[in-house]
A and B are shown apart, each in its own frame.
Chain A
Amino acid sequence: MTTADFAAFSNNAVMFASIVYVLAFVAHVTEWATGRAVTVTEVTEVAEPEAALVGGSPSPAQAAPRPVDEDHEERVDKWGRIGLALTVVAVLLHGAALVTRGLGADPIRVPWGNMYEFTLAGSFGVGLMYLLLGRRYHLRWMGLPVTAFEVVVLMLAGLLLYVPAGPLVPALHSYWLVIHVAAAVVASGAFAVGAIAAVLFLVKDRAGRRGSLRPGGYLDRLPELNALDRLSYRLHAFGFPIWTFAALVAGPIWAEYAWGRYWNWDPKEVWAFITWVVYAAYLHARATAGWRGKAAAVIALVGFATLLFNFVGINFFFGGGSLHSYAG
């Protein structure tokens, strides 16, 4: 294949990935819709599947017998499995798009030289982390928000940010850039998945408090609150050292080579630091009585907001003012 072939393949792969994400999303919607339609026919005591999966003990509320139709449960599960399988396909396509994007430039290079590629790489990180961490933490119930996120982000990337493949500006030639961005992408992916857990925690908490948890509905079928809180902590704990490495080791080393100062208080650096501090605060909050749970979840989301702002906001609002700006 020629360079141009790779570039064209990349564009097609992004499109196919988007389509498969849409299908995965539909499968997950069907999964939850089927779940809600469970009819109250039989009363059997079945262990709460999600709670068992995340390794938590069932909460009193969920240990209570719930009307379950086994056929229906099977159908729900089948749709969930279809959704997951489709997501695997989509993430593979997404990864292929990223790789060929790099091969589609002459000379070959890492595929993160501009906002389009950055968005492609970042959303790939989210999908990848969802699948990898999902194996360990059983995150299939997160398929709905994750696939929705991917669909929206890839669409925005294609519509608003697309630029044809081309070489990097010389300041970006460095393997430290590869390490720096790869680590940042992985950490952001973990934080994104963690943020989803935090959002679901808050929403479920609120619904539970207002008594509007519909039996069998999406929220009801999520892991219980404690498990969500703990899961969110573990996801963030996974991402935090990687982020520390990306933002405070690989980034400064690259800056030292590229600009002669390992830390320049450049807007991008400032916001990476802010993100780091907020997530450090989150970890502290979880260890402080009275902050665990809701307050901690809010802090985690503030952290994610600063991450997003760094990713999107800096490039758009600060433009050329930042040495890190790839927007042009």
Chain B
Amino acid sequence: MTSTQTDPVAGAGGAAPNPTPPSQPPALAPLELARWTWRQLTSMRTALVLLFLLALAAVPGSVVPQRDIDQVAVADWERDHPTLARVYDALGLFSVYDSVWFSAIYILLMVSLVGCVVPRLRIYWRGMRARPPRAPRNLGRLPESRRWVVDAPPDAVLQEAAGVLRKRRYRVDSDLAGDGAVAAERGYLREAGNLLFHASVLLVLVAFAFGQLYGYKGGVITVVGQGFSNALSQYDDFSPGSLFAPDDLSPLSFTVEDFDVSFLTSGPNMGQPEDFSAKVRYAAEPGDEPQDYDLKVNHPLTLDGVNVFLVGHGYAPVVTVRDGNGDVAYEGPVTFLPQDASFASFGVLKVPDAAPDQLGFEGLFLPTYGFTMARGPFSQFPDDLDPVLSLVPYRGDLGLDEGSPQSVYQLDKDDLRTFKSTDASRGSAARLKLSPGDTVELPDGAGSITFDRVDRWVKLQVSDTPGKGLALLGVLLGILGLMGSLFIRPRRAWVRASADPEDGRRTVVELAGLDRSSGGDLAGEIDELERQLRSDQEDS
């Protein structure tokens, strides 16, 4: 590879176009300074440093929770480290990959890449059309050379040599006259591959940035039997790219008709989900004939580039709550969030319509009930074999009118009271245990709750990342280019034929080669050339 650095013209060796930039900025006119800066930026050494910076800059994003990925984790972190969180936030550590400094590095890298590729394209273009360089005077001094004597006249030898070299896909200088030697070169595609690779990196970066800016990802929890239409207000969580506009949402809608899950019932991994799938009826646009689709993990629904994924599931017990006046104040499913692999799930029910007091419930849903004194109630198995609701009821003011938004998974207990337990041995607050079909009266005639049945919910993720086809094309082209760049061996070979000074009727054949990249087996190639030349000459 060293040899190529002095020989940029043919450009096939892939040396940096700007060997060593001057290390001192010249105290000259602005134009000079700009030129100097540009040369610095597009030097291989700068590329190297920028690559390292990029690797380094990517690290914090794997350590500090990221807003785009897990908002809950970020919120938890902020709660645990309030002061540090402010510093981190100012540094953009919660969204590393769209922070100013991360963007700065890759934009610099892109500029450097352009500055690197464009001049090399020019050089390559010239090199492509150049003829293989003439044979050096002394072939014996090249890294590999051979010499032998034949009977055929020099012209015939050269003619044959040109044929052999062409067959081995060398470009041969056909002007045989005068020089008494054939010059050949191959491996031009190496530099082409390298250029293709670097251009592909640019393409991928652009496609990726496009996807990040215009894409979105949202999560919806939908109880089986209920529907969804693609509007911002329907999402439980939503993370748009910075240039995303809500109008870009495609007018997709669907109903979750059914959900199936099976769990392993034996073996060391008992309780692990074996498979789950949801049946949905969807319409790509309002008014379309609804279609059926089986959503599974790794089997998304794709419409117009928008993907709908099944990413999770859980239980939604259906309950009916009557208030102190005997009126139905709530009727329907309540989403409980699984806490662990046994699907013991936590949930909250707020009944603001209850009178005279508002009612609230908080507690666990246990799909397969189990109880020990040590653990208390727990779930033995994730399937709903023996479902039980274990709830603590509250009454008072749910605090929903105070204006500040509340999570549906949290009770604001400031103005709520528990009921007094009838069995003091199990704690002072009343706790209700219900199986499907059970109705339990609340103490003091405050109302009742009925556990009607168990429904399930699924969590769907809807996402759109425009430009992904382009990014994939870019990476594939990049790999193609890379293989060319890494494995094609640019190489030169010369054959000279001259009258033997000792015996004028015979001809001395000299063969020599030069590898223009490191790591090639030049000796093997020259041996093979010699074998073919000799066998050809012996044939004739």
Contact between B276 and A264 (Cβ–Cβ < 8 Å)?
A: no
Given the contacts A245-B479, A249-B476, A260 and B48 also touching, CB distance less than 8 Å:
no
CB of B386, distance to nearest CB on chain A (Å): 24
Contact between A265 and B69 (Cβ–Cβ < 8 Å)?
A: yes
Contact between B297 and A173 (Cβ–Cβ < 8 Å)?
A: yes
Q: Mark B44-66, 1 if CB is under 8 A from A, else 0.
A: 11011001101100110111011
Contact between B486 and A167 (Cβ–Cβ < 8 Å)?
A: no
- For A55, list chain B residues within 8 Å (CB): 521, 523-524
- For B461, list chain A residues within 8 Å (CB): 259-260
Contact between A261 and B465 (Cβ–Cβ < 8 Å)?
A: yes
- For A167, list chain B residues within 8 Å (CB): 264, 269, 272, 274
Nearest opposing residue in chain B for A254, CB measure? B298
- For B465, list chain A residues within 8 Å (CB): 261-262
- For A321, list chain B residues within 8 Å (CB): 65, 70, 73
Contact between A277 and B51 (Cβ–Cβ < 8 Å)?
A: yes
Contact between B519 and A166 (Cβ–Cβ < 8 Å)?
A: no
**Is A217 in the interface zone, CB < 8 Å from B?**
no
- For A163, list chain B residues within 8 Å (CB): 268
**Is A149 in the interface zone, CB < 8 Å from B?**
no
- For A253, list chain B residues within 8 Å (CB): 472
Interface residues of A in 184-210 (CB under 8 A from B): none
**Is B19 in the interface zone, CB < 8 Å from A?**
yes
Contact between A166 and B486 (Cβ–Cβ < 8 Å)?
A: no
Given the contacts A167-B272, A278-B55, A262 and B48 also touching, CB distance less than 8 Å:
no
Contact between A288 and B519 (Cβ–Cβ < 8 Å)?
A: no
Interface residues of B in 462-509 (CB under 8 A from A): 462-463, 465, 468, 471-472, 475-476, 478-479, 482-483, 486-487
Main secondary structure of the interface of A (DSSP, over half): helix
CB of B57, distance to nearest CB on chain A (Å): 10
Given the contacts A55-B523, A244-B478, A260-B309, A270 and B297 also touching, CB distance less than 8 Å:
no
Given the contacts A169-B272, A170-B275, A233 and B45 also touching, CB distance less than 8 Å:
no
Nearest opposing residue in chain A for B68, CB measure? A265
Interface size class of B (residues with CB under 8 A): 35 or more
Contact between B463 and A260 (Cβ–Cβ < 8 Å)?
A: yes
- For B268, list chain A residues within 8 Å (CB): 163-164, 166
Q: Mark B253-281, 1 if CB is under 8 A from A, else 0.
A: 00000000000100111001111100000
CB of B41, distance to nearest CB on chain A (Å): 15
Given the contacts A260-B463, A291-B48, A230 and B518 also touching, CB distance less than 8 Å:
yes
Main secondary structure of the interface of B (DSSP, over half): mixed
A91-B213 Cα distance, complex, nearest whole Å: 48
Q: Mark B63-86, 1 if CB is under 8 A from A, else 0.
A: 101101110010000000000000
Nearest opposing residue in chain A for B65, CB measure? A321
Contact between B217 and A260 (Cβ–Cβ < 8 Å)?
A: yes
- For B48, list chain A residues within 8 Å (CB): 281, 284-285, 288, 291
**Is B16 in the interface zone, CB < 8 Å from A?**
yes
- For B272, list chain A residues within 8 Å (CB): 166-167, 169
**Is A182 in the interface zone, CB < 8 Å from B?**
no
- Cβ 8 A contact of B471, one of A106, A262, A318: A262
CB of A268, distance to nearest CB on chain B (Å): 8
- For A288, list chain B residues within 8 Å (CB): 16, 44-45, 48
**Is A148 in the interface zone, CB < 8 Å from B?**
no
**Is A326 in the interface zone, CB < 8 Å from B?**
no
Interface residues of A in 247-283 (CB under 8 A from B): 248-249, 252-253, 256-267, 270-271, 273-274, 277-278, 280-281, 283
Contact between B264 and A318 (Cβ–Cβ < 8 Å)?
A: no
Contact between B264 and A249 (Cβ–Cβ < 8 Å)?
A: no
- Cβ 8 A contact of A241, one of B5, B479, B523: B479
- For A116, list chain B residues within 8 Å (CB): none
- For A267, list chain B residues within 8 Å (CB): 62-63
**Is B33 in the interface zone, CB < 8 Å from A?**
no
CB of A133, distance to nearest CB on chain B (Å): 13
Q: Mark B10-23, 1 if CB is under 8 A from A, else 0.
A: 00001110011000
- Cβ 8 A contact of B44, one of A170, A260, A287, A306: A287
**Is B311 in the interface zone, CB < 8 Å from A?**
yes
Contact between B475 and A249 (Cβ–Cβ < 8 Å)?
A: yes
**Is A32 in the interface zone, CB < 8 Å from B?**
no
Nearest opposing residue in chain B for A313, CB measure? B62
28 contacts between A and B (CB under 8 A): A55-B524, A164-B268, A169-B272, A169-B273, A174-B298, A233-B518, A237-B519, A244-B482, A249-B472, A249-B476, A256-B468, A257-B298, A260-B217, A262-B465, A263-B208, A265-B61, A265-B68, A274-B55, A277-B54, A278-B52, A281-B51, A281-B55, A286-B518, A288-B48, A289-B2, A289-B19, A291-B48, A314-B62
Q: Measuring CB to CB, which residues of chain A are less than 8 angstroms from any residue of chain B?
A: 55, 106, 163-164, 166-167, 169-171, 173-174, 230, 233-234, 237, 240-241, 244-245, 248-249, 252-253, 256-267, 270-271, 273-274, 277-278, 280-281, 283-289, 291, 306, 314, 318, 321
Across the A-B interface, the 8 shortest Cβ-Cβ residue pairs: A166-B269, A267-B62, A260-B463, A270-B62, A281-B51, A277-B55, A170-B297, A260-B309
List 11 extra interface pairs beyond A258-B298, A288-B48, CB under 8 A.
A167-B269, A167-B272, A169-B273, A170-B298, A173-B275, A244-B475, A257-B300, A265-B68, A271-B62, A284-B51, A288-B44
